[in-house]
Amino acid sequence: MNKADYIYFMNAKAKYLVGFIILLFVTMACVAFSLDGNDDFDLARQEVLLRNIGHEVLLYSGDSTSRVMPVKKIGENEYQIRFENEFTFQPDSLVKIISRSLEKNNRASNYIINVLDCSGKGVVYGYAMFSNEKDSIVPCRRRNEPKACYIIDVKFESPGLLSAKKGYLIGGIPLLAFIGLMLTRVVKKRKNIDESIDIEIDQFKMGQTLFYPQKRQLVNGGTIIELTAKENKLLLIFAHSPNVIIERTRLQKEIWEDEGVIVGRSLDMFISKLRKKLEIDTSVQLVNIHGKGYRFESSLNLS
142-166 residues labelled b (16+ CB within 10 A) or e (exposed): eeebeeeebbbbbbbeeeeeeeebe
pLDDT at position 185 is 64
Torsion-angle region of 216 (φ positive above 0: left; ψ -120 to 50: alpha; else: beta) = left
Cα–Cα dist 9/1, whole Å: 10
Q: How much is the pLDDT for 24?
A: 65
pLDDT confidence of residue 5: 47
Specify the length of the chain in residues. Answer: 303
Give the pLDDT score at 23. 67
> Within a 13 Å sphere around the CA of 1, how many CA atoms are in the beta-carbon half?
11
Q: How far apart are CA 261 and CA 110, in angstroms?
A: 49
Measured between alpha carbons, how far is 134 from 196 in angstroms, rounded to an integer?
65
From CA 298, how far away is CA 15, in angstroms rounded? 36
- Model pLDDT, residue 251: 87
pLDDT for res 206: 86
Closest by alpha carbon to 58, among 67, 47, 70? 67
Dump strand ranges (E) for 93-226. Answer: 111-117, 123-129, 145-148, 150-156, 204-206, 209-212, 217-220, 223-226
pLDDT score for 177: 64
Q: pLDDT by residue for the chain (303 residues), tens digit each?
A: 444 445 445 555 656 666 666 766 666 665 555 544 455 677 777 788 898 999 999 998 899 899 999 898 888 888 999 999 999 998 888 998 988 888 877 665 788 999 999 876 688 888 888 888 788 888 876 678 888 999 999 998 875 444 455 555 555 666 666 666 666 665 565 555 444 444 456 788 888 899 999 999 999 988 999 999 889 989 999 988 888 999 988 888 888 766 655 566 778 888 899 999 998 888 888 899 988 899 998 765 544
Tell me the pTM. Answer: 0.44
Q: Are 36 and 223 in contact (CB under 8 A)?
A: no
Q: What per-residue confidence (pLDDT) applies to 35? A: 47
Residue 207: predicted pLDDT: 86
Tell me how far apart the alpha carbons of residues 186 and 172 are, in angstroms, rounded to a whole number. Answer: 21
